């Protein structure tokens, strides 16, 4: 099914998507998307949305199940508090991608803005994953409480650092893998930077393979040839000693 988003405001567009999904449509092509917010927000079925254009903020917020392919770039708050499904962005993403996401995967071919992956959480077998192909802005993985963030730094200028300042500030769970390593002075003070062992490298590889499959990238071995570091919280209770009772 195809919906032409031209001239539709977000509420009309999303109403059509919800109507189609409740009528059992399993795949929708959305063309001429231009900044409409909340596409896929609140959808709880395993449908596929193919977005041509630039979707607005809160793409896939609170969603649980859909696969969203964006053939273009995304704006802010992609996958906000999402609970399941996948979001695949073939361009760049704005700020706060994956805020508080709990399950599901976000793949961004290019770069992300500030605060990507902030406060991601895991619980039992629910583990959110975000893979970023380019670079990330400041505060990557801030307050991170769980899940996996993989930053590849493959689509960026050689001299640009792979991430901005204050990486993982306040991190108290989960793991961030950075290809090529980070400067320690970019990292939050309660975060440990460690080598990645072979077992973990295999885990990273399986995510990178999925990333490459989405974007038609074939040089997986090249990507994996670079060393990775992992960022971990030194404590699951970074603020435990601040209070007197």
Partner 1 sequence: MRMMPPEFMVKISDSCIKCKRCINECSFGALRFENDRVVADHDKCAACHRCTAFCPAHAITVEKFPAIFKDNYLWSQDVLKSLWKQSESGAKILTGAGNDKPYPVFWDKMLLDACQVTNPSIDPLREPMELRTYLGKKPDKLEFWQDKKGDIKLTTVMEPQIKLETPIIFAGMSYGAVSLNVQLILAGAARELGTIMNTGEGGLPQELSEYKDHIVVQCASGRFGINLSYLNSCAAIEIKIGQGAKPGIGGHLPGEKVTEEISRTRRIPSGTDAISPAPHHDIYSIEDLRQLIYALKEATRYKKPVGVKIAAVHNVAAIASGVVRAGADMITIDGFRGGTGAAPQVIRDHVGIPIELALARVDEQLRREGIRHMASIIASGGIRQSADVLKAIALGADAVAIGTAALVSMGCHLCQKCHTGLCAWGIATQKPELIKRLNVEEGIKRLVNMIKAWNLEIKEILGALGVNSIESLRGSRERLRGVDMDEVYLDVLGIKPAGR
Residue 236 binding partner 1, by CB under 8 A:
yes
Residue 166 binding partner 1, by CB under 8 A:
no
- Residue identified by tokens 């730094």 is 153
Q: In what order do the strands lie in the sheet with 105-108?
A: 2-4, 27-34, 48-54, 64-71, 84-89, 105-108, 129-132, 145-151, 173-179, 228-233, 191-195
- As a dihedral over the C-alpha atoms of residue 27, residue 32, residue 35, residue 36, rounded to 10 degrees, the angle is -50
Question: Which one of 11-19, 47-55, 158-166, 203-211 is the stretch in contact with partner 1 (CB under 8 A)?
Answer: 11-19
Which residue from 25, 34, 87, 35 is spatially nearest to 60, judged by alpha carbons? Answer: 87
Q: Which of 1, 16, 18, 192 binds partner 1 (CB under 8 A)?
A: 18
Residue 28 binding partner 1, by CB under 8 A:
no
The token pair at 116 is 């990507």
Q: Which of 69, 73, 86, 100 binds partner 1 (CB under 8 A)?
A: 100
DSSP one-letter string for 12-34:
HHHHHHHHHHHTT--EEEEEEEE
Determine the 3-state secondary structure of 203 from DSSP: helix
In the bound complex, what is the minimum distance in angstroms from residue 1's beta carbon to partner 1? 20
Which residue from 96, 29, 28 is spatially nearest to 59, judged by alpha carbons? Answer: 96
Total of residues contacting partner 1 (CB under 8 A): 48
Q: Per-residue string for binding with partner 1, 176-215, x by CB under 8 A?
A: ----------------------------------------
Residue 36 binding partner 1, by CB under 8 A:
no
Residue 35 binding partner 1, by CB under 8 A:
no
Q: Which of 76, 92, 108, 208 binds partner 1 (CB under 8 A)?
A: 76
Q: Which of 5, 21, 57, 131 binds partner 1 (CB under 8 A)?
A: 57
* C-beta of residue 44 within 8 angstroms of C-beta of residue 65: yes
**In 10 A of CB 123, how many CB atoms?**
12
Q: Pairing relation of β-strands 228-233 and 173-179?
A: antiparallel
Q: Which is nearer to partner 1, 18 or 201 (CB)?
A: 18
Q: Which is nearer to partner 1, 53 or 173 (CB)?
A: 173
Residue 241 binding partner 1, by CB under 8 A:
yes
Q: Which is nearer to partner 1, 63 or 162 (CB)?
A: 63
Q: Which is nearer to partner 1, 13 or 152 (CB)?
A: 13
The token pair at 20 is 């189609």
Residue 215, phi then psi, degrees to nearest 5: -105, 10
* Contacting residues toward partner 1, per CB under 8 A: 10-11, 14, 18, 37-38, 41-42, 44, 57-58, 61-64, 76-77, 80-81, 83, 96, 99-100, 102, 115, 118-119, 121-123, 126, 142-143, 145-146, 170, 172-173, 236-245
């Amino acid at each position: 099914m195809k919906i032409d988003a031209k001239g539709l405001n977000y509420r009309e567009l999303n109403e059509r998507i919800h109507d189609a999904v409740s009528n059992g449509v399993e795949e929708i092509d959305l063309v001429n998307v231009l900044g409409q917010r909340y596409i896929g927000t609140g959808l709880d079925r395993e449908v596929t949305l193919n977005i041509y254009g630039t979707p607005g903020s809160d793409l896939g917020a609170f969603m649980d199940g859909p696969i969203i392919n964006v053939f273009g770039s995304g704006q802010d708050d992609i996958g906000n508090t999402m609970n399941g499904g996948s979001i695949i962005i073939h361009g760049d993403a704005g700020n706060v991608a994956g805020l508080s996401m709990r399950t599901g995967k976000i793949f961004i071919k290019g770069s992300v803005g500030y605060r990507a992956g902030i406060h991601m959480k895991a619980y039992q077998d629910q583990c959110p994953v975000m893979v970023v192909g380019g670079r990330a802005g400041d505060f990557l993985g801030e307050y991170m409480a769980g899940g996996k963030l993989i930053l590849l730094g493959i689509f960026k200028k050689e001299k640009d650092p792979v991430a901005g300042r204050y990486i993982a500030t306040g991190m108290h769970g989960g793991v961030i893998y950075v290809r090529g390593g980070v400067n320690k002075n970019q990292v939050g003070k309660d975060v440990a930077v460690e080598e990645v062992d072979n077992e973990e490298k295999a885990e990273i590889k399986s995510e990178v393979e999925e990333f490459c499959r989405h974007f038609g990238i074939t040089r997986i071995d090249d990507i994996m040839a670079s060393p990775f570091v992992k960022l971990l919280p030194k404590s699951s209770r970074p603020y435990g000693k601040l209070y007197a009772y």
